[in-house]
Amino acid sequence: MPALRAGFSPLQIRTLINAPSSLLLRWPGGPLRGIAQLPASKSESNRALIIQALAGGGTLENLSDANDTELMQRLLADPAAEVFDAEDAGTVMRFLTAYLAVSGRPAHIVGTARMCQRPIGVLVDALRQLGAKIEYAGEEGYPPLSLQGWKPELDAEEPAELTVRGDISSQYISALLMIGPVLPAGLRLWLTGKVGSRPYIRMTQSLMQHFGATCRDLGKALEVRPGAYQPADYTIESDWSAASYWYAMVALGPVGSTIILPGLREHSWQGDQAIVGIMDQLGVATEFFPDGVQLTQKAPAEFVEQDFSDCPDLAQTVAVVAAALGIPVVMTGLESLRIKETDRILALQVELAKFGASLKEEGPERFVVKAAEFQVDGQQVETYHDHRMAMAFAPLALCGPLTVLAPGVVRKSYPRFWKELERAGFAIGQ
């Protein structure tokens, strides 16, 4: 059983106790074929839940079964709660902080030990400017937080103006945008410098507009007009981030491998749909159907250069696939990976080295994936309490046997991942 760190919630501890400490993955041979069921988008689900709560109604269909979304539902459903445990969920911590701030209710927001190492000062400073009374219960700039009320400028005639750096997590920006309509005169949010993860910001704007808000992109600023949200119904799309692991499997599978992924849209609000173009270079073609896609193999490029500023959650998957295929890849826009569930850059460097590959920094925030003699032959992959490390390395089982440690981490975004691998033909044992 993995060591239980301080800061794990009772639910997480029970999950870890009941989960296997490792899984041995093997591929029995032959092409990969079939239909893989994806979870619904966690990013869409958690934004929609906050907006639905602010709108006071509406029906959400196909909500994600990821732990982060189920956690958000539970916390929003308890009107009497005073302590909110965001566990290790970034969107829950950040979105809920903004939501509770404008509600004016006293509350304490806590999280796991790792969550309390992830900065939140930018959001807290912004909310304080808008009228929130928030104190740090521990280290300055980091959770846990104590919310003690809300006193906005009620007679304001102009939108509240905030200036935030564009290269911070887009979750801060989305959290502020979503509360914009309930501010007395709305919100004008100025973004400075390079803006990362733009598609996640656009997703937030699109969902806000679906629920009746007016949110305009003025170039260097985003403006939200005042006015209540309206209850609306919405069906969550399947998750493109989860789809990326099936792209990896098709890329690494035997000749003739193909897979169908239902529930994906050609015109998606999710930034991780960028996997279509990235994997086209790494040997996977995408054909869209009315309700999903079919992935098939094609000839890969000899060299790839990709900026991950708008799709950082794809970086681990792409690095692993490129290393296994022996395709040099230059990766930029990885700044936010150091403050995710783990330091994902360091984790990738350590784990890729086990297979004969490297991820080297060859300039300011410019990384290159190389593999001289890549081999999969029974290695153990550490997952670092990070769901994406487990799922990014799992497709390597198509190249040889490997063991994934602490496989229960996938519950964060794709609880049925291992079951879907079994359905696809993988042999999975402990």
**Residues taking part in catalysis:** 313
Strand locations in 225-382, DSSP E? 234-235, 258-262, 284-289, 292-297, 304-307, 329-332, 357-361, 366-371, 380-381
CB 405 within 8 A of CB 258: no
Give CA–CA dist 123/112, Å, rounded: 19
Count of other CB atoms within 10 angstroms of residue 318 = 28
For CA atoms 166, 171, 176, 182, give the dihedral sign.
positive
Contact call for residues 304 and 281 (beta carbons, < 8 A) = yes
Rounded Cα distance, 293 and 23, in Å: 29
In angstroms, the CA 300 to CA 304 distance is: 10
Of the candidates 195, 222, 192, which has an alpha carbon nearest to the alpha carbon of residue 208?
A: 222
Opening angle at CA 129, ends 123 and 130, nearest 5: 90
CA 79 from chain centre, in angstroms, equals: 27
Give dist(CA 273, CA 27) in Å, integer: 27
Asked if 196 contacts 166 with a C-beta cutoff of 8 angstroms, the reply is: yes
| Cα–Cα distance for residue pair 166/287, rounded to 1 Å | 34
Rounded Cα–Cα distance for residues 337 and 340 (Å): 5
- E strand map for 300-349: 304-307, 329-332
| The token pair that represents 120 in the structure block | 């939140």
Is 365:167 a contact under the CB 8 Å cutoff?
A: no
How many CB atoms within 10 Å of residue 430? Answer: 9
Largest CA distance in the chain: 69
Q: How many CA atoms lie within 13 A of 390 on its CB side?
A: 28
- Looking at residue 302, the DSSP 8-state letter turns out to be S
